Amino acid sequence: MSRWLGAAVFAFALADEGSAQAVPRVRPRLVVAIVVDQLRADYLDRFRPHFGPNGFNLFLRRGASFAEARYEHSTTSTCPGHAVILTGSYAMVNGIIANEWYDVRRGRRENCAADTSVTLIGSSAAGRSPRNLFGATVGDVLRTATNGRSHVVTVSVKDRSAIMLGGHLADAAYWIVDTLFVTSTYYRPGLPEWARAYNAGGAISKYFGRPWERLLPAVAYAEMGPDDEPAESDGSGMGRTFPHPIGGREAFDRSPFPNDVVAEFAMRAVTAEGLGRDTVPDLLGIGFSANDWVGHLYGPESHEVMDVTLRLDRTLDRLFGFLDRTIGLRNVVIVLTADHGVGPMPEVLRRIQPAASPRRLDPAVIDTAVRRAMEARYGPAPAPGWIAYHAPPLLYLSPVALAATRVRVEEAERVAQAAVQSVAGVHEALTGTDLARLREAGAESGPVRSFHPSRSPNVYYGLQPYWLADGGTSGTDHGSGWLYDQQVPLLWYGAGIAPGTHQTPAAISDIAPTLSALLGLGAPGGSQGRVLSELLR
Ligand SMILES: [Zn+2]
């Protein structure tokens, strides 16, 4: 058994007293973990002149920040990012290798939060739960240590974000489906009265028909370049320039306003569930996902990304003001980070230098290369062909084809790997067999941290820096092992936190053990991070 499997087995066991480090004198009544979906580390410096006094500046002026914080894994997408934050572990332990992967045993794709044994409350969409997450979150450790007296509630636009932050023992995770907040029967039999009342108020549909305008006068956005950039997506009829009409739910999703609704719902939860009301600590997880859609459609160099960031700053100001009035900020510890960064659009690079090499690489080109190489070597495969599933950076060969042709998996992987590696723009391709060996040898690389032996693919690949795996012509993406996707803000404020700016390296896996130390608890069992002792008072 590897040491990581050993760690996972004891995921729910609290660390013994001897390992609890630097237990602070001030215990928070409420831990607030805020995750912004797609917020690159450099945005804080870039947009800081336009921040209000008590949003991001609460952290930047009166809290602690780590300028060199990053994910040490290479699949920088939403579900893996959220899974790291409160477990302190990477996919090599927590199993969340991507937003979606291929379940080889069942022969079907698997969403990271899928669970067919439960149903949603308030929607007929597919069931969701933390079942696919291995190990414990800070909330799980807290609920265990207090015999369930602590409350753990998470709220997000996206299901996977609320669910991964909550962990296995959360009271509830809430997210938006259509125009309503929903949860899963995994957590509770029905929506609480306050949540039903919130839904009945039409909080989301009231945005329909209102345009999205810039928060500040247009001149403040001039530093971002022109508002109209041809490689921006038109965002489902919202257009490439301000003002963007919000005709319905789809456009609402692609606007900054889901963040406001999530903050409002989270504040209702604090009041109704009595979070932070007594000395038994509670945990509130909040996922602000609006930034991700806006970033994908318009790219990091856009007026829209600047605007969604500034609007989030004002939303944070309202949230922190509320927490101060209801609980007192001295009783709260707040950590803010992101699930990943984002890369620029290749077209923007080429506007500056037309000969710049980064391009969009259509994943279909990789499909074709692999299929041709496999057919040339082994002949045609039975339906559905040689590739069972391919969503960058994961490529799974068909288990049916491998069994039918009696080809050794390791040998077939080598053929597919060479085909992927031969495509222009590919930086590196690794086989599942390679990754398993590297993992056993204790290698600590991004791809190894993003690999889990029971779920990972036959070929794992990454593109050269600034290339995008995308078959379209507009928008941008994240998901690579390069710094623009890995580096995110890491901000702290509140009970037990010494103010200061730190240039020392910090990993996102350090958040969970640090929060645990602030609570006087052992870190979640699978945690791979360290306690950021430099920020403890
Ligand atoms: Zn994301």
**In the chain, domain spans:** 360-469
Instruction: Name the band, by pLDDT with cuts 50, 70 and 90, for residue 237.
Output: confident
Mean local confidence (pLDDT), 492-511 = 96
Instruction: Name the band, by pLDDT with cuts 50, 70 and 90, for residue 18.
Output: very low
Ligand 1 mean position, distance from CA 79 (Å): 7
| pLDDT at 384 (0 to 100) | 87
Ligand 1 mean position, distance from CA 34 (Å): 13
Ligand 1 mean position, distance from CA 304 (Å): 17
Query: Is 119 assigned a catalytic role?
Result: no
Mean pLDDT of the chain: 94
| pLDDT at 520 (0 to 100) | 95
Residues with CB under 5 A from ligand 1 (ion): 37, 78, 292, 339
Strands 100-103 and 500-502: unpaired
Ligand 1 mean position, distance from CA 151 (Å): 25
Strands 394-397 and 100-103: unpaired
| pLDDT at 16 (0 to 100) | 35
CA 436, CA 441: separation in Å to the nearest integer? 9
Ligand 1 mean position, distance from CA 41 (Å): 14
Ligand 1 mean position, distance from CA 382 (Å): 36
Structural tokens at position 521: 């608890």
Burial of 325 (0-12, 13-18, 19+ CB in 10 A): exposed
Residues 6+ apart with CB under 8 A from 515: 31, 33, 86, 138, 333, 335
CA 37, CA 497: separation in Å to the nearest integer? 24
CA 496, CA 534: separation in Å to the nearest integer? 11
* Residues 56-101: tens digit of each pLDDT: 999 999 999 999 999 999 999 999 999 999 999 999 999 999 999 9
CA 506, CA 532: separation in Å to the nearest integer? 8
* Residues 362-417: tens digit of each pLDDT: 999 999 999 999 999 999 999 889 999 999 999 999 999 999 999 999 999 999 99
* Residues 523-533: tens digit of each pLDDT: 999 999 999 99
Ligand 1 mean position, distance from CA 328 (Å): 30
| pLDDT at 537 (0 to 100) | 86
For the structural domain made of 360-469, what CATH number should be given?
A: 3.30.1360.150
Ligand 1 mean position, distance from CA 519 (Å): 27
CA 407, CA 409: separation in Å to the nearest integer? 6
| pLDDT at 271 (0 to 100) | 98
* Residues 165-205: tens digit of each pLDDT: 999 999 999 999 999 999 999 999 999 999 999 999 999 99
Interface confidence, given as ipTM, is 0.95
Residue carrying structure tokens 């450099």: 42
| pLDDT at 3 (0 to 100) | 36
Residue 43 confidence (pLDDT) above 60: yes
Ligand 1 mean position, distance from CA 73 (Å): 14
Structural tokens at position 78: 């939403």
With a pLDDT cut of 90, the percent of the chain lying above it is 92
Structural tokens at position 519: 């609570």
Ligand 1 mean position, distance from CA 293 (Å): 9
Mean local confidence (pLDDT), 480-497 = 97
Mean local confidence (pLDDT), 129-135 = 98
Ligand 1 mean position, distance from CA 78 (Å): 3
CA 309 → CA 112, 204, 236, 306, 471, distances in Å? 27, 20, 21, 5, 28
Instruction: Name the band, by pLDDT with cuts 50, 70 and 90, for residue 25.
Output: low
CA 341, CA 295: separation in Å to the nearest integer? 9
Ligand 1 mean position, distance from CA 1 (Å): 33
Residue carrying structure tokens 């053929």: 415
Instruction: Name the band, by pLDDT with cuts 50, 70 and 90, for residue 11.
Output: very low
- Within 10 angstroms of residue 185's Cβ, the number of other Cβ atoms is 16
| pLDDT at 22 (0 to 100) | 46
With a pLDDT cut of 70, the percent of the chain lying above it is 95
Cβ atoms of 120 and 128 closer than 8 Å: yes
| pLDDT at 8 (0 to 100) | 35
* Residues 250-285: tens digit of each pLDDT: 999 999 999 999 999 999 999 999 999 999 999 999
List the catalytic residue out of 78, 137, 315, 476: 78
Is the sign of the CA dihedral 91, 97, 98, 100 positive or negative?
negative
Is the sign of the CA dihedral 205, 207, 210, 211 positive or negative?
negative
| pLDDT at 10 (0 to 100) | 34
* Residues 416-449: tens digit of each pLDDT: 999 999 999 999 999 999 999 999 999 999 999 9
